[in-house]
Structure 1
Amino acid sequence: MLTEVSKQTLGQKTAFDRIAEFASSDIFERMFREGMDLVEETAAYLDGDGRQEARGLERAAALAYASESMRLTTRLMQSASWLLVHRAVREGEMTPRDAHDPKYRLGARAVCSADKQPSADLPVRLLDLLERSKRLYDRVDRMEVSLFEASEKPPENPVNAQLMRLQAALGASS
């Protein structure tokens, strides 16, 4: 199995390299800004117009509103936390190795990625925020997979494969 040092020697990018590059990229900057803007917009809505709109809903729709607003805030908290960790890497407050720790991974996938369609009786603005938060969460999830999971699967070693074939051929002829 290749160590992080031997991967660097061979010119392969480690997860730490990918995290550092991503954190300093324009893609990260746009994703971070979009995420933080969505958090602010959602907070303003839920504390203002959303509260008023929820009061006018029938009982079943009000329960759906409460459930979906919790899903919305969970998605945003998970996404924002992940983005803030990577901003800390960019700012030099955290190392890429620290950011690689599983405790900083995106969480609450069962709640955040559920394909449950929200009730059509919910306010249009809440439905819009739910959809946008889902897209953000899904983007962060895909980015996490590309940064982290590639490093958790060691690359195939073509020499090992050939040695196994050679052993099988020589073993079969004895």
Structure 2
Amino acid sequence: MNWTNSDEEPVSFAHRLAASEAFKAMFREGMTLVEEAAAYLDGPGREEAKALPRGESLAYAAESMRLTTRLMQLASWLLLQRAVNEGELTLDQAASEKRKVKLSYQETASSPEVFPRLPQNLRDLVCESLRLQARIIHLDQLLYLDPDAALPMPAASPVEDQLNLLRAAFG
């Protein structure tokens, strides 16, 4: 089904989503996560880190730096998108400003063997930030995808290939 607006242009699902209550909820979630992480890292996290053995202490430091960096990138993106939604920036202006925000996938800083030995509060914050990161990157790709860029072709289905062979054989 081809959804159009009153000007008969296709309606962008991504732009509707970015300006919806769902975006506002994502914005609040992101800003709350930034506040929670800051409060944890400046308070209970410091005490928990002091009690860790040397290896886990180093992993804690690396993980907390990565968490802080990730959250600052996400908050920057959310603030830019909110400015677009409120008419303070055009989508083109935001795209230009967005180049300064290095929005990219960041995995955990510590190895899979060490991560489970870190404090539960830190692990929870890291996991929440990774989920939010994936959602924001997905929305970013939908919003800022170059419409003139060729979309990747879907991989051929082996089942479809076999059906085509059968159709050709039994026409």
The number of equivalent residue pairs is 144
Distance in structure 2 (CA, Å) of the matches to 1:39 and 1:103: 19
> Is the CA contact (8 Å cut-off) linking 2:63 and 2:108 kept in structure 1?
no
Distance in structure 2 (CA, Å) of the matches to 1:79 and 1:125: 20
Distance in structure 2 (CA, Å) of the matches to 1:39 and 1:104: 21
Q: Following superposition of structure 1 onto structure 2, how do residues 4-43 of structure 1 map, counting pairs within 5 Å?
A: 11-13=9-11, 18-19=14-15, 21-43=16-38
Larger mean CA deviation between 118-127 and 100-109 belongs to 100-109
| RMSD (CA atoms) | 2.7
The one of 132, 135, 141 equivalent to 1:145 is 141
Distance in structure 1 (CA, Å) of the matches to 2:148 and 2:71: 26
Change in CA separation of 1:26 and 1:130 when aligned onto 2, cut-off 3 Å = same
Identity score, percent: 45
Structure number with the higher helix fraction is 1
Q: The residue matched to 1:81 in structure 2 has which SS?
A: helix
Distance in structure 2 (CA, Å) of the matches to 1:102 and 1:85: 8
Normalising to structure 2: TM-score of the pair?
0.73
Write out per-residue CA displacement over residues 7-53 of structure 1, whole angstroms, 9 at most, x where no aligned residue. Answer: xx762457xx954x344211110110000010000000000000110
> Is the CA contact (8 Å cut-off) linking 1:113 and 1:138 kept in structure 2?
no
TM-superposed CA distance for 1:154, in Å, is 5.4
TM-superposed CA distance for 1:100, in Å, is 2.1
Unaligned segments of structure 2, at least 5 residues: 1-6, 152-171
Is 1:73 the counterpart of 2:73 in the alignment?
no
Change in CA separation of 1:113 and 1:119 when aligned onto 2, cut-off 3 Å = closer
Distance in structure 2 (CA, Å) of the matches to 1:34 and 1:52: 26
Distance in structure 2 (CA, Å) of the matches to 1:120 and 1:18: 36
